[in-house]
A = this chain, B = another copy of it.
Amino acid sequence: MKPIQHTPDSSGLEPARPVKNELLEARVAGVRNASLAEKRREQICDAALELFLQKGFASTTIRDICARSGVNQASIYDYISNKNDILRRLLNRLWFRSGAPSLPDLLEQHPENSLQDNVAFYLKEFWSKRRKGTLLAYRTVPHLTKEDRKTMRARDEQLISRLAESIEDLTQLPENDPRTLVVANLVLFMASFGPLRDWLHQDLDNDLVADTVAAAIVAMIENLARYSPEQ
């Protein structure tokens, strides 16, 4: 298992590409069979995710991950390049390609539904599909490179500015009103409400919570429209 070639951890190489839309996964060539490698990587990532959420990133050891995934301590480096590489792969899976729909998309695709219904659906999807990604992201910020943090923030900002446009449409506010941005931020934040606080209200029915939060969001937006500056 000789020729392991890693892509360097922090590659400040690229000539100013404007926005990356994923974190860079190191190329690891320890194992020839690509599909096997992918399968192992998945084992590793699954185990690591559990542990990271349970014990935190820094106090989860490679040995823990190996034990839980059944991969040998030495072999693991045939599949991933280092501990941070695992984290990056997880964030790519769970944060960048979570499969959760964006609210603007939903509004576009289902104009027949009420705003409240669309928002409620959005929240439920987000809470189920991005729960772990959200938790992971909020908790591991300190362990990311500046570069990686910037990439994650860029993703958020992109979502938010699209959302702000939607809110502009809904409220008929002018483009330069900064409050649309604040509310867009707030909506995205409330989409993180479920994951981030699930340690608290485990006794409340999830659908009820989603519906109530959706109603709150709708009220927020309508309120914004009501107090718009005369135009």
- The digit string for A122-141, where 1 denotes a CB below 8 A from any CB of B, is 00000000000000001101
Name the B residues within 8 Å of A215 (CB-CB).
223-224, 227
Q: Is A56 an interface residue (CB 8 A)?
A: yes
- The digit string for A143-155, where 1 denotes a CB below 8 A from any CB of B, is 1000001000100
A126 to chain B, nearest CB (A): 15
Name the B residues within 8 Å of A153 (CB-CB).
199-200
- The digit string for A210-231, where 1 denotes a CB below 8 A from any CB of B, is 0011011011101110010000
The dominant DSSP class at the A interface is helix
Q: Please tell me the size bucket of the interface on A.
A: 35 or more
The interface centre, meaning the residue of A54, A178, A182 with most chain B CB atoms within 10 A of its CB, is: A182
Among B143, B178, B218, point to the contact of A204 (Cβ < 8 A): B178
Q: Is A17 an interface residue (CB 8 A)?
A: no
